[in-house]
Amino acid sequence: MSSTEPEIKPGTSLDAPPTYLSHRQILVILGGLMAGMFLAALDQSIVGTALPQIVSEFNSLDKLSWVVTAYLLTSTASTPLWGKISDLYGRRPLFIAAIVTFLAGSVLAALAQNIEQLIGFRAVQGLGAGGLMSLAFATIADVVPPRERGKYMGYFGAVFGLSSVAGPLLGGLLTDGPGWRWIFWINLPIGVAALAVVASVLKLPHEKRSHKIDYLGASIVTGAVTTLLLAVSWAGPDYGWGSTTTVALLVGAVVLSVAFVLVELRVSEPIIPMDLFKGRIFAGYSAYAFLLGFAMFGALIFLPLYLQAVKEMSPTVSGLALLPMIFGIFSASIPSGQLMSKTGSYKLYPIISAVLVGGAMLMLSTIATGTPYWQLAIYMFVMGAGLGLSMQITVTAAQNSVPRKHMGTATSTMTFFRSMGGAIGTAVYGAVLTSRLKVHLEDVVPAAAKDSIDGLAKAANSVQALHALPQPPRGWAMTSLVGAMGDVFLVSLPFLAIALVLAIITPEQKLAAREDGASPEADLEKAAALH
């Protein structure tokens, strides 16, 4: 078999019927795509439980957040570029390049000798992860008609949820066992397996056409994402929201964002075609993905912290304690995908999702130091079910609403907005937790011990330091930490309310079935819907 992706002769219509694969053919490539996506999603959360050991080894508490932020930054900023280039050159070579980049970053991170090297190599990992996430979804869109896509996207949703929630468990097992460096070494066998499957079986027709990469747009969007994430990351722990540095970064992010839109309106091959946002379905679900990503990462990051700091669970046990969320994701994502494929309808699922996630956040805001685990498990199950109902369904709906020539770009743009929501949500929640922690300490600590507040706030940033405190300071710190977490969960509610409104007002478009093909007329209708 040829090692290169088949090409369609120049001049073939972009809107010619696609070559959809049979169920058996799809299952073969599905394994490789899911393995690649598993790697990208896993590394968003697996590092969390290893951070205390990493900080202890490198003595670098002040740079702790950058181990996570560097990954989120490069994976988010690179996502639109991966999608656009794959539209021009084909999915297969780009997916292989993404896997190789990710594995290279993993090996280098495992060998890091100081915190600066680790942060840099995590950025390399993120660069590859940006391609793994978006290209997996785009490839499925190439080989599966929209009407049948739901049942396969449901499995993607389950894998995404499983990897995101299982990350803390696996991270805990490896950290407690062979050491934190194994959270990176574990990527190698999974990545090599994914690479073998993709290289051997993923051979899709691709039209060779003239192209021009929008390097200016790529540079500007990277700058916009970087300045925005720096602003929200530094505002809490390092600078105030009203500081000159924070304001300058926020203004810079706005200016660069406007510049990016202006550039994209003028170039012939934009990274993100602005015409896509003229469609109400694509624009609505892009905003919805951003808001849900914003809310989701708050739960995924702070629940393990609550379990380890307050319930005094080990990293491994705290990972196991998150299983109700995994069960919730599985119980919703796979059945909803099957039902969507059966009925061709999807509008109800994002609505229910926003309600369930909002309800879970409201319940989580009530947790206290004495909240029993069974109660927390119910909250986590509701959260998982809400996430499972919409994570991939909105991607399918957006894909179904755009012309096929923009499939990779549209998919990567949806992934970009979800990742951006998660990255900003992570930074904002961290800033909220830091600021509200001192407020709660002011309320809890007796007047005679007010001079200990700064020390208690610093101790609350480390599970080990918190548990080493004597009583009653330990109790004051734990009570304040839980109170600050409750505030974090409440912060997500206005964003989820907006997501609910978007889910209600975004129109629904019939999902195309296999027998519908992809005629020029059908894609012209989709193109017309963008104007």
Quick one: pLDDT at residue 322? Answer: 79
Query: For 509-526, what is each residue's pLDDT tens digit?
Result: 777 655 554 444 444 444
Is 154:338 a contact under the CB 8 Å cutoff? yes
For all residues of the chain together, what is the average pLDDT? 77
Query: For 6-28, what is each residue's pLDDT tens digit?
Result: 333 333 334 444 555 666 767 77
Query: For 291-315, what is each residue's pLDDT tens digit?
Result: 888 887 666 677 877 887 888 887 6
Task: Report, in angstroms and rounded to the nearest whole number, the Rg of the chain calculated over CA atoms.
Answer: 23
Q: How many CB atoms lie within 10 A of CB 497?
A: 13
**Domain boundaries in the chain?**
12-213+279-509+516-529, 214-268
Confidence of residue 204 (pLDDT cuts 50, 70, 90): low
The angle formed by the CA atoms of residues 460, 466 and 469, to the nearest 5 degrees, is: 125
Q: Single out the residue of 433, 518, 448 nearest to residue 483, CA to CA.
A: 433
Flag whether pLDDT at 424 surpasses 70.
Answer: yes
Q: Single out the residue of 343, 324, 357, 19 nearest to residue 151, CA to CA.
A: 343
Confidence of residue 134 (pLDDT cuts 50, 70, 90): confident
Residue whose entry in the numeric block shows the structure tokens 């309320």:
443
Quick one: pLDDT at residue 20? Answer: 57
- pLDDT over 70 percentage in the chain: 78
Query: For 229-238, what is each residue's pLDDT tens digit?
Result: 777 766 655 5
Helix 91-110 × helix 115-143 angle, to 10°:
160
The residue type of 293 is: G
Q: Which of 87-91, 156-160, 383-387 has the highest mean pLDDT?
A: 383-387
Of 385 and 529, more confident: 385
**What's 12-213+279-509+516-529's CATH class?**
mainly alpha
Query: For 430-483, what is each residue's pLDDT tens digit?
Result: 778 877 888 888 888 787 777 777 777 777 666 777 777 778 888 888 888 888
Collapsed DSSP state (helix, strand, coil) of residue 7: strand
Of 319 and 78, more confident: 78
Is 391:41 a contact under the CB 8 Å cutoff? no
Long-range contacts of 273-280 (CB under 8 A, 24+ apart): 273/406, 273/409, 275/530, 275/531, 276/402, 276/406, 276/409, 276/410, 276/413, 276/530, 278/530, 278/531, 279/401, 279/402, 279/526, 279/529, 279/530, 280/506, 280/507
Query: For 338-350, what is each residue's pLDDT tens digit?
Result: 788 777 788 888 9
Flag whether pLDDT at 382 surpasses 50.
Answer: yes
Residues with Cβ < 8 Å from 178, sequence gap 6 or more?
none
